[in-house]
Amino acid sequence: MKKKTIRIKNKKVLVVGLAKSGVAAANFLIRRGARVTITDLKPESQLQNEIAQLAGPARLALGGHTEAAFMESDFIVISPGVPTGLLELRRSASSGIPIYSEVELAYAFTHGKIIGITGSNGKTTTTALIGELFKNAGRPHVVAGNIGTPLSLFVDSEDQAGSEDRTFVVELSSFQLENIHHFKCDVALLLNVTPDHLDRYQSFEDYALAKERIFLNQTNRDYAVLNADNSISLSMSDGRKGQVMLFSRRQMLSQGIYVDGGKIYIRWKKQHHYLMEAGEIRLKGNHNLENVLAATAAGFLSGIDLSVMADTFRTFQGVEHRLEFTRSVGGVDYYNDSKGTNVDSAVQALQALDQPLIVIMGGKDKGGDFASLRSLVTRKVKLLILIGTATDKIFSVLGSDVSTIKARDMEEAVDLAKRSATPGDAVLLEPACASFDMFRNYEHRGEVFKNLVNALPDQSAEPAADGGAR
């Protein structure tokens, strides 16, 4: 399929939202001669850092949206955090003004193949894993998208020469997928679909449909990789134009990537390969085994050697803020899972750790069903510490099932956890919520937690109360 050209020079373009993706999109457009206007609900005084990163002049319409800024545009580029249901966007769409996500804009200028990864959970780890496979195989690639680096940063014209063999490994959120039109993945991975972002979508079905858009525009030369163990993902395997490859940790597959007898196998067309023992994978938890199976699919379909994949999975330690071991203090292990922003991610983290747990939970509620945590919390959590605006909701659901206390902020939460923990316990930051009530983003929340944990005194060096050795 021939890519649609997006003409930029001298076009009036509105960029909605001046977060990381908005800055990248604005700079992409400015360098190509667009007449850029930027709008954001935040006032200019709160966006000084972002404004300082702009590559050239742009008209600023900050502190709120005006209908005129939208209706005067030749096209609009929106950041992932901007809801497509915004009144001004609906009116613009009704008037025929094209609305693009940042990844759609960047896609029109890419050269090379695209591996796209989406899912309610695991997409950052899987994206990083695939990037590591390409790095260890010595294959030209970039890792971009929702993982933290906007795709448009990698498609400036001066970077494109001789890059036809480069692979873009792109993490895609449902927000980014909402406004793609011609964007196409050569290999599209859907890891799972579980309830998330129900504060933004009218229904779970709407959220699932946004995820399914990762397969948009695929042809029979492309590949659709789906999780056979997730009912919603599996249901989306029907009617795909791309060649479907399933993965499963629970069942043998006639075609796909699967686990049998603790061993990982690849069966595809007339090929049948043994990859490695599942127990050799360095990452903890069944959810990470699923991430490895998905990454195996992407690597195999991209022609990466099996020995490179196995060696990578044996050594890959994970990504920051995703069940990240932070430190052990006085026999207590501290884990940072700040990227666990929904209830299903909390389920996965609680299942992955075997120690008695003190869990710090809470933040901005995304409409999650905290009752689904009840059996795990009752069985594995000795103390639940709640923070953020979701505190009262979580307390009303789980407070009678486990010892629960409320904390004013992260500092108090870490202090309460330290004083309550005994050797052999683990303290887990598992928010199951968004971060925006107290922090800039989940990275900021995780950094605050880690800084507080790393500031804890080494108890082994503290004198005993009677002055003797402990």
| Residue 149 covered by a domain | yes
| Residue 2 covered by a domain | no
Phi, psi of 235 (to 5 degrees): -65, -25
Q: Poorest-confidence range of 156-170, 246-260, 354-368?
A: 156-170
The verdict on 41 and 119 lying in the same domain is no
The verdict on 154 and 271 lying in the same domain is yes
| Residue 1 covered by a domain | no
Residue 443: which H helix or E strand, with range? helix 442-454
What CA–CA distance (Å, rounded) separates 15 from 26? Answer: 6
Domain final position from 48, 63, 97? 97
Looking at residue 143, its amino acid is V
Spell out where 192-310 has E strands: 223-227, 243-248, 256-260, 263-268, 271-277
**Confidence category of residue 467, pLDDT binned at 50, 70, 90:** very low
The verdict on 233 and 186 lying in the same domain is yes
Tokens (6 digits) for 461:
């060096």
DSSP helix/strand/coil, 386? strand
Domain final position from 70, 97, 124? 97
The verdict on 337 and 281 lying in the same domain is no
The verdict on 281 and 398 lying in the same domain is no
Q: Calculate mean pLDDT across residues 230-250.
A: 96
| Residue 465 covered by a domain | no
* Structural domain count, the chain: 3
CA quadruple 179, 181, 186, 189: dihedral, nearest 10: 30
What CA–CA distance (Å, rounded) separates 281 from 137? Answer: 18
Tokens (6 digits) for 435:
């971060």
* Residue 84, domain extent: 12-97
- 250, pLDDT greater than 50: yes
Domain final position from 49, 71, 97? 97
The verdict on 64 and 141 lying in the same domain is no
- 160, pLDDT greater than 80: no
Phi, psi of 386 (to 5 degrees): -110, 140
The verdict on 76 and 183 lying in the same domain is no
| Residue 168 covered by a domain | yes
User: For 285-334, how does the pLDDT look when each residue is reduced to its tens digit (9 = 90+)?
Assistant: 898 999 999 999 999 999 999 999 999 999 998 888 988 999 999 999 99
The verdict on 24 and 62 lying in the same domain is yes
| Residue 244 covered by a domain | yes
- CATH code, 391: 3.90.190.20
* Summary mean pLDDT of the chain: 92
The verdict on 33 and 170 lying in the same domain is no
User: For 366-376, how does the pLDDT look when each residue is reduced to its tens digit (9 = 90+)?
Assistant: 988 999 999 99
Q: Which residues contact 94 (CB under 8 A, 6 or more apart)?
A: none
The verdict on 290 and 344 lying in the same domain is no
